[in-house]
Amino acid sequence: MGTAGWIVVGAAALAVIAVVVAVAVLLLGSGGSRGQAPGPEQVRRGEEIYQASCASCHGARGEGDPNWRTRNADGSFKSPPHDNSGHTWHHGDGQLFNIVKHGGQGYAGPGLASRMPGFGEQLSDQEIRAVIAFLKSFWGAEERRYQAEVSRSDPLP
C-alpha cells in the first residue's frame, strides 16, 4: 500500500475512535434513567419538580403538615412528611410511583377523600422517577436501605 493508502486507513481508524468516544459520552451522560441508580442530574431535576409541585403541601424540607397524624375535619389526611419521621420510606418504588402518578384516592379508605393529587397529566414518567429519586435524599442510610429492600419486589415501572 502506498502512502495515500495508509492515510486513508489512518483517517478511517480515527473516525472509528471518534464514534466510540461519542457513544461512550452519550451513555455516561444519560445516567439515572430507567433501571439505573439515580444520578446527581436526576436528583437535581427531581428537586426542581418537588419545590414547584409538592413543597406547598409536603414542606420545602419534606417536613409535612404540623400535627400531620391528626385528621382534617372532613376525615381526610393532612400532608405527611417525606423525611425519616413519615412513612414514605415504608413504600416500594412501584407504589410511590403510582401514588404520584394517580394520586392518593386509590389508597384512601372507603368514603375518604384523598387530598393527594395525581400528577399523571403534569409530569412525565421520567419526571415522576426524578421526584422519587429526590424524595430519597430526605432519608437516612437505614431508611434508604429498608426502602431499597422493599423495592426489590415492587420496582419502578
Please give the residue ranges that form the binding site for ligand HEC (CB under 6 A).
53-54, 56-58, 76-77, 79-80, 86-88, 91, 96, 99-100, 104, 108, 114-117, 119, 131
Which residue sits closest to ligand HEC, CB atoms considered? Answer: 104
Nearer to ligand HEC, 116 or 139 (CB): 116
Give 82's contacts (C-beta < 8 A, 6+ positions apart).
Answer: 58, 62, 64, 88, 135, 138
Q: How far is the CB of 37 from ligand HEC (least distance, A)?
A: 19
Which residue, 29 or 71, is less far from ligand HEC as judged by CB?
Answer: 71
| Cα–Cα distance for residue pair 111/37, rounded to 1 Å | 39
Partner residues linked to 77 by β-bridges: 71
The whole-angstrom separation of Cα 62 and Cα 133 is 13
Kindly tell me which of 33 and 56 has the beta carbon lying closer to ligand HEC. 56
The nearest distance, CB 78 to ligand HEC, in angstroms, is: 6
> Between 41 and 112, whose beta carbon lies closer to ligand HEC?
112
How far, in Å, are 34, 46, 82, 100 from residue 127 at the CA level?
11, 7, 18, 10
| Nearest-approach distance from CB 106 to ligand HEC, in angstroms | 9
Q: What angle do CA 70, 151, 106 make, to 5 degrees?
A: 45
Residue 39 vs 117, nearer CB to ligand HEC: 117
Chain center to CA of 23:
25
Q: Nearest approach, Cβ of 79 to ligand HEC (angstroms)? A: 4
